């Protein structure tokens, strides 16, 4: 394809800006009149998301609840974690390579290893092993949070040392994007480049943990009935993900790492990155459901009273912990669920108080017969420098970038065909069917030689769609207009189109222009996707339904479509493909190629809708590639 997003390419800047505009200053003021306030934009997307959160329901009996838990676990693994994942990733037998062993004078050794989480991706780890081991002992997998130096951070070293001094084996993993794996190619939102290829980026995180469990169980003195996982922040998220979905984990202590989705929506500092809100997770389970999947295994939830990052204790207890109590009670093991609020220091931490809560929980459930104090054993003098804990890694270690590039090549090597590319796109976008109504449709207001009408359309799901119709006298054509900047910032181009005799229908779909939420651009689209929706699908349905409503109201048959910017460029193509009313399409400032989405400089945070799961597969299919490689009159007609 020469241009992914240039079906009818407008490339000449003189066409954009050289002709005189019509009442430009007055039109700018008319377009700036607010149709939806910022408060309304935030409120509507909040309501939209909350209405889609899966409710938590206690089964009629423990057997019923257990059966439901098994089904949720299976659904998440098959439809979220491993969706589109190559069989060789999932079936890979873990390979472990030892580098060296640090022999300490403190009763334990530290073995440096690297292991293959999936083909070509190696993870560094440390194994703390007591010198005097007899029989089988617990193994605790310690996962990282968002720590720049990763596995060597002091509080984590102290935790692992204390576990070893208490007769347990401690495994200290590096986390994707942190420590030795801290690189732009491992930034967490880069997993979107796998998602757009139709391969679950979440699988990379999950496999790095599940392979660590394989290692733990294979250790000579490991007791498979006493495998635990714990971590702070992103490590807390890892803890609940792997522990709820892999029943080989027998005890979990997540610290300030997760909450119910409702809490995240209400407290946007808790939303997190893309791995924490992967496509469709919320369609099968909220995080509070994941807590219930731990039943009957011991679960200690730790939160901090003055957390300066996320998941403040007062905001999570009622929605993330308390709903789980009946499930443990129903299983007759209420003592296996525990909750702790840390107030010293109370910030985002896994410091002394929280570590001692861990030790006490491990003692209670893994060593019920012994009476060892939970007080931390002093080990300040045993902390090693970061450079002492480095594990050599292959120079060609895989990353999100290389994995996505390989996934794209795999798409190109297939001769996949769609019986109906239009239907295939609608399915991929999970395209809603909207019936639009208007709660505002003003009469024509004169603005110089133009007339301006203002509309506020409502879709079935409660989302408001702000629109304006700008008309010259006796228009000869109709152009629907969308822009990444929103129509308020495009008065020059709208004026230019009108001067050429076009009736302009300007629309701000959700997440764009007046319909944009506060906070990071990707936060709300990400939450919509984790709740089973497709942000690009919502926008596409809004544009096509608005076009149908307005054309019917104005007694018109068709419209052209012009977009400005990379986000709107993708939307222009999906809207034109799925609407029988859109004819010619012009995209300005669009992506030059679908492959640009996989560029190291491309960013999910800047174009979140474009990273719709599997979208690359559709664009690279032979029928679609052929049509988009040349100018066409009607996308839908040519793709039928």
Q: How far apart are CA 624 and CA 241, in angstroms?
A: 37
Q: For CATH 3.40.50.1820, list the domain ranges present in the chain.
A: 62-409
Residue 328's Cβ-count burial label (10 Å; 0-12, 13-18, 19+) is: buried
Dump pLDDT digits (tens) for 98-139: 989 999 999 999 999 999 999 999 999 999 999 989 899 999
- Which pLDDT belongs to residue 6? 45
- Which pLDDT belongs to residue 114? 98
Q: How far apart are CA 252 and CA 361, in angstroms?
A: 10
- Which pLDDT belongs to residue 622? 87
Strand (E) or helix (H) holding 254? strand 251-255
| Inter-residue long-range contacts of 95-103, CB under 8 Å, 24+ positions, other chains counted | 96/215, 97/122, 99/391, 99/392, 102/384, 102/388
- Which pLDDT belongs to residue 289? 98
Question: DSSP secondary-structure letter at 185?
Answer: G
Dump pLDDT digits (tens) for 346-400: 999 999 999 999 999 999 999 999 999 999 999 999 999 999 999 999 999 999 9
Question: Which two structure tokens, joined as six digits, stand for 92?
Answer: 């890979």
Q: How far apart are CA 140 and CA 137, in angstroms?
A: 10
Dump pLDDT digits (tens) for 405-442: 999 999 987 766 788 999 999 999 999 999 999 999 99
Least Cα distance to 243 among 300, 187, 160 occurs for 300
Q: What CATH number was assigned to the domain covering residues 62-409?
A: 3.40.50.1820
Q: How far apart are CA 144 and CA 639, in angstroms?
A: 48
What architecture (CATH level 2) is domain 8-32+414-507+533-639? Answer: 3-Layer(aba) Sandwich (3.40)
Dump pLDDT digits (tens) for 193-238: 999 999 999 999 999 999 999 999 999 999 999 999 999 999 999 9
Q: How far apart are CA 366 and CA 360, in angstroms?
A: 10
Residues 92-109 as b or e (16 or more Cβ within 10 Å = b)? bebeeeeeeeeeeeeebe
Q: What is the CB neighbour count within 10 angstroms for residue 532?
A: 15
- Which pLDDT belongs to residue 490? 96
**Cβ contact 581:498 at 8 Å:** no
Terminal CA-CA length for the chain: 19
- Can you spell out the DSSP letters for 575-635? HHHH-SSEEEEEEES--S-GGGGGSTT--TTTSGGGG-TTHHHHHTSHHHHHHHTS--S-H
- Which pLDDT belongs to residue 242? 98
Which residues are registered as beta bridge partners of 483? 564
Q: How far apart are CA 116 and CA 121, in angstroms?
A: 6
Question: Which two structure tokens, joined as six digits, stand for 599?
Answer: 């560029």
Q: 560 Cβ partners below 8 Å, 6+ apart?
A: 477, 478, 479, 480, 582, 583, 584, 585, 586
Q: What is the CB neighbour count within 10 angstroms for residue 111?
A: 18
Residues of the chain with pLDDT under 50: 1-23
């Amino acid at each position: 394809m020469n241009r992914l997003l240039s079906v009818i390419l407008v490339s000449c800047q003189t066409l954009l800006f050289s002709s005189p505009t019509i009442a430009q200053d007055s039109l700018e003021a008319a377009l700036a009149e607010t149709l939806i306030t910022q408060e309304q934009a935030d409120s509507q997307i909040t309501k939209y998301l909350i209405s889609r959160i899966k409710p938590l329901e206690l089964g009629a009996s423990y057997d019923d609840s257990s059966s439901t838990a098994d089904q949720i676990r299976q659904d998440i693994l098959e439809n979220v974690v491993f969706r589109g994942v190559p069989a060789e990733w999932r079936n890979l037998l873990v390979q472990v390579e030892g580098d060296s062993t640090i022999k300490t004078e403190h009763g334990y050794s530290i073995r440096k290893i690297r292991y293959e989480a999936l083909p070509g991706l190696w993870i560094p780890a440390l194994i703390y092993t007591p010198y005097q081991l007899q029989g089988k002992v617990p193994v605790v997998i310690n996962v990282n949070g968002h720590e720049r130096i990763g596995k060597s951070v002091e509080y984590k070293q102290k935790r692992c040392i204390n576990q070893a001094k208490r007769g347990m084996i401690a495994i200290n993993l590096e986390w994707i994007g942190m420590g030795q794996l801290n690189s732009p190619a491992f930034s967490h939102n880069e997993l979107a480049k796998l998602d757009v290829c139709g391969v679950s980026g979440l699988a990379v995180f999950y496999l790095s943990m599940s392979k660590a469990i394989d290692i733990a169980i294979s250790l000579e003195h490991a007791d498979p009935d006493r495998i635990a996982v714990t971590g702070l922040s992103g490590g807390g998220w890892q803890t609940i993900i792997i522990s709820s979905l892999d029943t080989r984990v027998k005890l979990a202590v997540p610290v300030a790492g997760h909450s119910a989705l409702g809490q995240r929506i209400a407290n946007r500092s808790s939303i997190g990155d893309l791995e924490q809100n992967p496509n469709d997770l919320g369609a099968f389970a909220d995080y509070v459901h994941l807590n219930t999947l731990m039943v009957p295994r011991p679960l200690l939830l730790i939160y901090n009273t003055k957390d300066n990052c996320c998941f403040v204790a007062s905001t999570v207890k009622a929605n993330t912990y308390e709903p789980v109590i009946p499930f443990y009670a129903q299983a007759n093991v209420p003592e296996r669920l525990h909750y702790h609020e840390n107030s010293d220091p109370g910030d985002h931490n896994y410091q002394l108080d929280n570590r001692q809560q861990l030790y006490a929980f491990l003692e209670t459930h893994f060593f019920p017969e012994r009476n060892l104090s939970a007080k931390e054993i002093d080990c300040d003098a045993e902390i090693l420098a970061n450079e002492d804990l480095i594990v050599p890694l292959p120079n060609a270690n895989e990353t999100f970038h290389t994995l996505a590039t390989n996934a794209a090549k795999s798409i190109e090597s297939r001769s996949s065909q769609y019986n109906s590319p239009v239907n295939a796109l609608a399915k991929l976008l999970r395209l809603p069917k909207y019936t639009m109504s208007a709660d505002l449709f003003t009469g024509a207001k004169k603005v110089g030689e133009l007339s301006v009408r203002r509309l506020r359309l409502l879709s079935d799901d409660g989302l408001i769609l702000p629109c304006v119709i700008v008309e010259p006298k006796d228009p000869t054509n109709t152009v629907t207009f969308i822009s990444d900047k929103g129509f308020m910032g495009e008065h020059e181009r709208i004026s230019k189109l009108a001067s050429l005799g076009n009736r302009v229908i300007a629309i701000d779909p959700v997440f764009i222009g007046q319909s944009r939420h506060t906070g990071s651009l990707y936060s709300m689209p990400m939450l919509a996707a984790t709740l089973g929706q497709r942000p690009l699908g919502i926008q596409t349905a809004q544009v096509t339904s608005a076009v149908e409503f307005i054309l019917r109201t104005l007694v018109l048959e068709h419209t052209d479509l012009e977009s400005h910017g990379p986000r709107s460029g993708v939307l222009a193509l999906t809207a034109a493909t799925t609407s029988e009313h859109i004819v010619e399409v012009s995209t300005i400032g669009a992506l030059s190629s679908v492959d640009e989405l996989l560029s190291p400089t491309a960013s999910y945070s800047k174009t979140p809708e474009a990273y719709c799961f599997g979208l690359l597969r559709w664009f690279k299919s032979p029928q679609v590639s052929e049509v988009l490689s040349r100018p066409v009159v009607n996308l839908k007609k040519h793709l039928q």
